Structure 1
Amino acid sequence: MSKIERFEDLEVWKMARSFSKKIYFILEKEFFSKDYRLRDQIRSSAGSIMDNIAEGFERSGNKEFVQFLFIAKGSCGEIRSQLYRALDIGYICQEEFEQLYQEALQISQSLSGFIKYLKTSELRGSKYK
């Protein structure tokens, strides 16, 4: 893996950013506009994925980075659960659910692979140089 200088260059962060944007557009639907609590929970979970990747990266150490990647992964699970709620009460259709669910699952799998890589890497992070 080549040296990455900025979190914005991480593919998993780019995926999370794109996903977050899609979630925001889905939340513009009329039903969501009135269900403030669920809307805010979903919005928060989507933002948490990309934010925790960024925060962990900025900590400059693999151990802390892995910890934040696990938090991001947890947010992926949280949003998949929230998508079921949105589907069950008719806020999104089955097609929207499937697309968003699969995308969240793909991000979660990418995070798992990245975590595994960091745990076995000889590189420990720039703060240990």
Structure 2
Amino acid sequence: MAEHFEDLRAWQTARALTNAVYECTNKGAFFEDFGLRDQVQRAAVSVMSNIAEGFESRTQSQFIHYLGQAKASAGEVRCQLYVAKDQEYLSEAKFDRLHDRAEKVSRQLYRLIQHLDESDDTSRIRELPADYLT
């Protein structure tokens, strides 16, 4: 059972995504593109923030709502990564790593939302089994 939002694997993946986004946006031509840089950074931060905010709400319906917002932000990150790749701010390998991480958190969020939707126990937020990792 997850006691804190930091215990959730989706939040941990979102944190890793955010750190990776900041690492590649804070240098080179990507750094000079203020609009795209700020937007992709905000979207990445939004993924982890919405997971935390929803978890802290401690109601299942609100948690599911915030997880949906986090999933939407993960999609926004993926979209912006294509823009960065098309502008040649990211190598193919860096794009693939970031995109894969954003897609992983999106899958984790989808599975967590499914789990919560199917769960009869609304009194506590619970962690998912191992298949939630992928």
- How high is the TM-score relative to the length of structure 2? 0.90
Paired amino acid for 2:93: E
- Residue deviations 1:53-102 (CA, integer Å, cap 9, x gap): 00000000111000000000000110111000000011001111111111
**In 2, distance between residues paired with 1:48 and 1:28?**
18
Q: Secondary structure at the match of 1:105?
A: helix
Equivalent in the alignment of 1:30: 28
Give the Å deviation of 1:125: 3.4
- Residue deviations 1:14-63 (CA, integer Å, cap 9, x gap): 11011100110001221122111100000000000000000000000111
Q: Secondary structure at the match of 1:32?
A: helix
The number of equivalent residue pairs is 124
1:92 is aligned to 2:90: yes
The runs of 4+ residues in structure 1 deviating greater than 6 Å are none
Unmatched segments (≥5 aa) in structure 2:
125-134
1:39 is aligned to 2:41: no
Equivalent in the alignment of 1:111: 109
**In 2, distance between residues paired with 1:61 and 1:121?**
13
Give the Å deviation of 1:113: 0.3
Percent identity reads 39
Q: What does 1:15-94 correspond to in 2, within 5 Å?
A: 15-94=13-92
**In 1, distance between residues paired with 2:10 and 2:42?**
18
Paired amino acid for 2:98: L
